[in-house]
Structure 1
């Protein structure tokens, strides 16, 4: 069983034995309500083979999950679709614990959401669907029950799910939940999964010693994909240093939010990840496939609750999307090249922010992500570095064409057809 802690420099995760842990998560919000145990076992085996090590799951029913024939509800269910939070379904949580146990036995760290936004009044989710706001007087007992069920597995607790913090009442809910779980199980790391493009946290949460690391969400709006690097820069430069990661970049084959025509490609989700990793959010990355997060099955409905996306793929098709292997490859690159303690560099001599440059804090390594083929010129002389270029679409390694002039470094156009990562290692 893996037990995580925060590194001394507040940049990444490590195990209790001091080994760096690259957070590579998959998004499976709807698992507890929509997946059978047999399906769950098959899924776990496949993601384990790929190298994923964290699973992000909503403890309660996901408000925009796909329809399911299964009848697993966390609380007594009323005809109007609302829950009686005073009548908990213990069998639901026992089954959820069994699923967590299965995942932990296969080497995964569960990252469990305590309260998705629709369960908390005044949030944007509650404005859309407010029939399932949990009464504030039940939050502490609910968290204590969750702690009893799951904390023995050393999970990460995502105290909030896709939330904003518009009022003191909403902040009170999340402050209470975070304080309670941390008092009960201080060994479990805590964070806040927040709404897409949100940059600011309330002072009460931001300054709390109970918050261990930052999550941000660049999200699924095609007009704001620059958030992948803008939010990474923002959270890595907060006054209180904590590890940061993009917990919800655009999902592979997800329809654009607001029901706009189009879907995010394998390239789109790969670009979002690399831009985040090289812009300050090096602690890890989360993948999502449209059909896995909602655990969709053919013939079942998928509503327009929330951000309104096009229909998902069947989960057994979505689990095989090639982009998951791209994310697994990112983790492998970080491990093979022993990449850590990255600092974004503003040395690119080109009128774009899409190309991202970073170096290790000891300047022994430099990384350049180039989404579209072009000549890359850096305002820095890197003559004493050996360079490797990686074709990220085909996952191939090659040699770079690099020249030096006027205290600048120039990388000529390469022969690959998609995005590349250039890694420079300082010669000893």
Structure 2
């Protein structure tokens, strides 16, 4: 009898451990242990491949301190991940065979996933970069996956990590399917991951595409394994990704959506630094707030020097500027926590995008004004500090409290209460390039605290 009880307890603990992430009832957000989860990601693509354990510990600890909740990393990495060994001299597979994983390599992956969990960091785990599935314009390959071994590999990974509480799965690896066979391979890998968890537990899985019109929804929207949709914006300035997010937000079946690879900080803009320069903190803030206010449930930040863990000892790509340890402290990275604090400061699961809040819905991305709200609060982002007009009566309350929130430092500036009807005019404290602001409007009776 005692042994039976212990077995039941062990089973219950296992289910609790593996069933941490779910999609909210309204299908718009992610939950962790039934609480709202704000996905604030960093692209640490080469984490398993290039860093040793001491370095990985330093990186994960610092990102945790900065408020990040997710790190996206690839098992079979982009930089010749099959044939250039990790920091300990280990390759991931024997003879490039997905059916023959190398235990020593995966012990290092195990260590990093566990270390991330210690710092309350979720790993957005990519089984492979896309050049292992098929060639596109870059990538060293070789192409090793078929529908059969993709399922086998996905199932093996899932069985290994299904009891880890800090895993969200990301297929795709920066490649768009070019034909039906490509789609079949990605479907097979995702189905293998699902099968690896067994009955009763559904893992969270998405797909990381290259830039396109509908992100992952273009191929996999109706697939049962696709838990939420993901975009990549292409590393150019002022692309209206918010419109694409809104389009997928309105699709059926309803699924959460986010930008999983925006313009990175310190990245050659459109891969053309000579003519367009490199991106800055304002560039990454602009995408973060516009995307989330357009309906995204979270956002991924990225840094050009960090995704590849630029150092004097490894191959570099596209002209990184500073070594990754220094790049951890770039201002855009430090400012992402202010977005998370703002979004979690009000009832999160009821939030919707709503451009009917504002009269000015015609500016381009550089001057865009984007609005989102709950039942008794609203956030309005003005990308360049342009004044705007709010249509009253969209949230509850006869009177509204108004505060300006500074995305650069998280500070607030209070303004006078106002009635909640008619046309309400607001002018940000400053305006111009890099002077973005968020107007916080609250039903005055709610007494919400400032972020």
* Matched residue SS, 1:184: helix
Superposed displacement of residue 105, structure 1: 2.3
Aligned to 2:51: 35
Are the counterparts in 1 of residues 146 and 185 from structure 2 also a CA contact under 8 Å? no
Are the counterparts in 2 of residues 24 and 284 from structure 1 also a CA contact under 8 Å? yes
Superposed displacement of residue 203, structure 1: 7.1
Superposed displacement of residue 236, structure 1: 0.9
Which one is further off, 67-76 or 241-250? 67-76
Structure 1: how far apart are the matches of 2:386 and 2:240?
A: 22
Aligned to 2:448: none
Are the counterparts in 2 of residues 164 and 195 from structure 1 also a CA contact under 8 Å? yes
RMSD of Structure 2 on Structure 1 (CA): 2.7
Aligned to 2:342: 333
Structure 2: how far apart are the matches of 1:351 and 1:147?
A: 46
Aligned to 1:317: 326
- 1:412 matched to 2:447? The reply is no
| 1:93-127 alpha-carbon deviations (Å, 9 max, x no partner) | 12111111111122121110123221112x635x7
Q: 2:308 aligns with which of 275, 291, 294?
A: 294
Aligned to 1:167: 179
- 1:132 matched to 2:143? The reply is yes
Q: 2:251 aligns with which of 233, 238, 243?
A: 238
Q: 1:358 aligns with which of 337, 359, 371?
A: 371
Q: 1:180 aligns with which of 158, 178, 192?
A: 192
Are the counterparts in 1 of residues 48 and 112 from structure 2 also a CA contact under 8 Å? yes
| 1:171-193 alpha-carbon deviations (Å, 9 max, x no partner) | 00011011111122233211111
| 1:117-145 alpha-carbon deviations (Å, 9 max, x no partner) | 21112x635x7645334244321221122
Matches within 5 A, 1:265-280: 265-280=280-295
Superposed displacement of residue 268, structure 1: 0.5
Taking structure 1 as the reference length, the TM-score comes to 0.87
Structure 2: how far apart are the matches of 1:325 and 1:254?
A: 17
Structure 1's 90 and 323: CA in aligned 2 closer, same or farther, altered over 3 A? same
Matches within 5 A, 1:53-92: 53-63=69-79, 70=87, 71-76=89-94, 83=96, 85=98, 87-92=100-105
Aligned to 1:94: 107
Superposed displacement of residue 217, structure 1: 1.4
Are the counterparts in 1 of residues 64 and 119 from structure 2 also a CA contact under 8 Å? yes
Superposed displacement of residue 32, structure 1: 0.8
Structure 1's 381 and 409: CA in aligned 2 closer, same or farther, altered over 3 A? farther
* Matched residue SS, 2:172: strand
Query: What stretches of structure 2 of length at least 5 have no aligned partner?
Result: 1-16, 446-451
Structure 1's 176 and 86: CA in aligned 2 closer, same or farther, altered over 3 A? closer
| 1:140-198 alpha-carbon deviations (Å, 9 max, x no partner) | 22112212322221311102211212200100001101111112223321111111234
Are the counterparts in 2 of residues 381 and 404 from structure 1 also a CA contact under 8 Å? no
Q: 2:236 aligns with which of 221, 230, 234?
A: 221
Structure 2: how far apart are the matches of 1:31 and 1:128?
A: 18
Structure 2: how far apart are the matches of 1:415 and 1:259?
A: 31
Which one is further off, 102-111 or 382-391? 382-391
Matches within 5 A, 1:190-269: 190-199=205-214, 201=216, 205-222=220-237, 225-261=238-274, 262-269=277-284
Which one is further off, 206-215 or 263-272? 206-215
Structure 2: how far apart are the matches of 1:398 and 1:235?
A: 35
Are the counterparts in 1 of residues 399 and 417 from structure 2 also a CA contact under 8 Å? no
Are the counterparts in 2 of residues 269 and 323 from structure 1 also a CA contact under 8 Å? yes
Superposed displacement of residue 410, structure 1: 0.8
Are the counterparts in 2 of residues 246 and 276 from structure 1 also a CA contact under 8 Å? yes
Aligned to 2:36: 20
Aligned to 1:375: 387
Superposed displacement of residue 7, structure 1: 0.5
Are the counterparts in 1 of residues 386 and 431 from structure 2 also a CA contact under 8 Å? no
Structure 1: how far apart are the matches of 2:379 and 2:259?
A: 19
Structure 2: how far apart are the matches of 1:201 and 1:47?
A: 27
Corresponding residue pairs, total: 410
- 1:348 matched to 2:359? The reply is yes
Aligned to 1:47: 63
Superposed displacement of residue 413, structure 1: 4.2
Structure 1's 60 and 407: CA in aligned 2 closer, same or farther, altered over 3 A? same
| 1:374-424 alpha-carbon deviations (Å, 9 max, x no partner) | 221234467722111012223221024798899311112424671111110
| 1:256-278 alpha-carbon deviations (Å, 9 max, x no partner) | 23334311100100110000011
Are the counterparts in 2 of residues 404 and 410 from structure 1 also a CA contact under 8 Å? no
| 1:213-267 alpha-carbon deviations (Å, 9 max, x no partner) | 1111123023xx3333122212211121111111111111111233343111001
Structure 1's 200 and 58: CA in aligned 2 closer, same or farther, altered over 3 A? closer
Structure 1's 334 and 144: CA in aligned 2 closer, same or farther, altered over 3 A? same
Superposed displacement of residue 349, structure 1: 2.6
